[in-house]
Amino acid sequence: MRAMFVWVFLATSLALLGVCLSAARSVAQQEVPGARDFPLIKRYEGSRLIGYAAKPYDSAKLIVGKLNVGANGQPSPENWRLLEGRHTRLLYLAPRQRSSLEVFRNYERDLAAKGFTILFKCSGEEECQSFGAEINRVLYPATAALQNNDISKFAFNVPIEPHYLAATLTTPEGPVAVSLYVATESGAAFPETKDRVAVLLDVVEDKPMDQKMVTVDAAKMADEINTTGRVALYGLYFDTDKAELKAESAPSLAEIGKLLKAQPALKVYIVGHTDNAGGFDYNIGLSQRRAKSVVDKLMQSYGIAPDRLKPVGAGMIAPVASNDEEAGRSKNRRVEIIKQ
């Protein structure tokens, strides 16, 4: 089994996340729909999950050293590690009347009990206050921003009493690393976060990304069609909301052309599929246009007779995975060849 690295971070400063809060909604604020704790790390008892985002493959920088002021006048880490893999981000708001030190120590002891070794740690304004203003800019790309949660803008507007650590653990499945940032929000921009402790937890699991550039050759397509009557292809590429085939689709198109020339009696449906982003009618139309683009290319470039090809747009109605996460949505965005 390939070694898996899980890098977990708790960072501050959500000022760059660009989500606004209406005071009228504050009383009814609930946990983010569909969000869930990362299984390895428990939340502090009584905390509320107020921000969540997940990426099947992303990059992030883990700070494992002191932040210094660089030549550009901005804080910069003297030591950090670049990570790639599945990235999950969670933001918690701790219960009232809890100090950042108390919450931090609870996390620290929980990690120690699980066998983690600390790589780097800082506490207090002098040692790691600059983390509060810079940690999102330094550590995380814009793609990892929290989604669908207005309160998160004010979780670290004016943080005080900051605490940060980075740690590692060796498990049977592979090494695990954790970084933790906890601070108290002292600003008055939003009453629900004032004098409250917030914790931002990032998890990056270092594992291989899906290899979508692998082309299914004509022989494998023929075997799959003979066995199941259909074959799903992920080597036909389109820009978001576009129906024109991209240049990198050429290898897969060539294999489809080879398949159809080798079996002149074979007639097929070319079926376009989308994820569930956007409306039903829009996705039906988009998938139909994409299927037609494939048909047109097969006729123009490979001389396949038009009566052997029928474009069909299935939109979002035939998923092969859950649309709740990007990993599932990417599987649903496909073109299928189905025997008529």
Angstrom distance (rounded) from CA 90 to CA 107: 15
Domain ranges of the chain: 5-206, 218-339
What pLDDT digit, counting tens, does each position of 74-118 carry?
Answer: 556 667 776 677 777 888 999 999 999 999 999 999 989 988 889
Angstrom distance (rounded) from CA 46 to CA 253: 55
Average pLDDT of the segment spanning 151-169: 80
Helix (H/G/I), strand (E/B), else coil: 39: coil
What pLDDT digit, counting tens, does each position of 10-60 carry?
Answer: 333 333 233 323 322 333 345 777 788 888 888 999 999 888 887 777 767
The domain 218-339 is classified under which CATH number: 3.20.20.70, 3.30.1330.60, 3.90.1150.10, 3.40.50.300? 3.30.1330.60
Compute φ and ψ for 269, nearest 5 degrees: -95, 135
**Could you tell me which residue, 199 or 203, shows the higher pLDDT?**
199
pLDDT score recorded for residue 2: 39
Largest CA-CA distance found in the chain, in angstroms, rounded = 76
**Considering just the CA atoms, what is the radius of gyration of the chain in Å?**
25
Q: pTM of this prediction?
A: 0.55
Confidence of residue 149 (pLDDT cuts 50, 70, 90): low
Angstrom distance (rounded) from CA 335 to CA 333: 7
Considering the chain, what percentage of its residues have pLDDT values greater than 70?
Answer: 76
Supply the DSSP string of 191-226, one letter for each residue. TTTTTEEEEEEEEEEE-PPP-TTPPPPHHHHHHHHH
